[in-house]
A and B are shown apart, each in its own frame.
Chain A
Amino acid sequence: MQIYLPIAEMSVDGLSIVGIGLAVGLLSGLFGIGGGFLMTPLLIFIGLPSAVAVATSANQTMGASISGLIAHWRRGNVDGKMGMVLTLAGLAGSALGVQVFALVRRVGQLDLVVAVFYVIVLGIVGALMAAESVRAWLRRRRKIPRRLHEHFWMHGLPVKMRFRKSRLYISVVPPVVIGFGIGFLSAIMGVGGGFILVPAMIYLLGMPTGVVIGTSLFQVVFVTAAVTVLQSVSTQSVDIILSLLLMVGAVAGAQFGAAMGSRLRGEETRGLLGLLVLAVAMGLGYTLVRTPDAPFVLEPLR
Chain B
Amino acid sequence: MRRLLLSLLLLLVAAPAARALVAEVSQREIAVSTGFTGAELIVYGAKDTIPADVVITVRGPHTPVVVRQRTRIAGIWVNGASAVFETAPGFYAVASTRPLAELLPEAERRRLRLGLDMLPLRANEPRPGDGFRQALIALKVERGLYREENSGVTVTGERLFSARIFLPPTVPPGLYQVDVFGIQNRRVEAVRDLTFAVRRVGTSAEIWRFAHVHPWLYGVGAVIAAAVVGWAGSVVFRRG
Interface, chain A (partner B; CB < 8 A)? 2-7, 9-11, 59-60, 62-67, 70-71, 108-109, 111-112, 225, 228-233, 236, 238, 240-241, 243-244, 247-248, 251-252, 255, 288-292, 294-301
Contact of A232 with B216 in the complex, beta carbons under 8 Å:
yes
Contact of B35 with A2 in the complex, beta carbons under 8 Å:
yes
Q: What total count of A-B pairs have CB within 8 Å?
A: 176
Count B-side interface residues using an 8 Å CB cutoff. 56
Q: Which of A67, A289, A299 has the most CB of B within 10 A?
A: A67
Contact of A236 with B211 in the complex, beta carbons under 8 Å:
yes
B10 is an interface residue with CB less than 8 A from chain A? no
When the two chains form the complex, which single residue of A6, A292, A298 contacts B65, counting CB atoms closer than 8 Å?
Answer: A298
User: A70 CA to B230 CA in the complex, in Å?
Assistant: 11
Report whether over half of chain A's contact residues are helix, strand or loop; otherwise say mixed. helix
B69 is an interface residue with CB less than 8 A from chain A? yes
User: A59 CA to B69 CA in the complex, in Å?
Assistant: 32
User: A227 CA to B91 CA in the complex, in Å?
Assistant: 35
Q: For residue A64, which residue of chain B has the nearest CB?
A: B230
Contact of B223 with A228 in the complex, beta carbons under 8 Å:
yes
Chain A residues with Cβ below 8 Å from B75 are 289
Report whether over half of chain B's contact residues are helix, strand or loop; otherwise say mixed. helix
Contact of B219 with A238 in the complex, beta carbons under 8 Å:
yes
Contact of B207 with A7 in the complex, beta carbons under 8 Å:
yes
Q: For residue A71, which residue of chain B has the nearest CB?
A: B234
Contact of B230 with A251 in the complex, beta carbons under 8 Å:
yes
Contact of B226 with A62 in the complex, beta carbons under 8 Å:
yes
Chain B residues with Cβ below 8 Å from A252 are 233, 237
Contact of B225 with A236 in the complex, beta carbons under 8 Å:
no
Q: For residue A2, which residue of chain B has the nearest CB?
A: B37
The interface bits of chain B over 78-108 (1 if a CB of A lies within 8 angstroms of the residue's CB, else 0) are 1100101010000000000000000000000
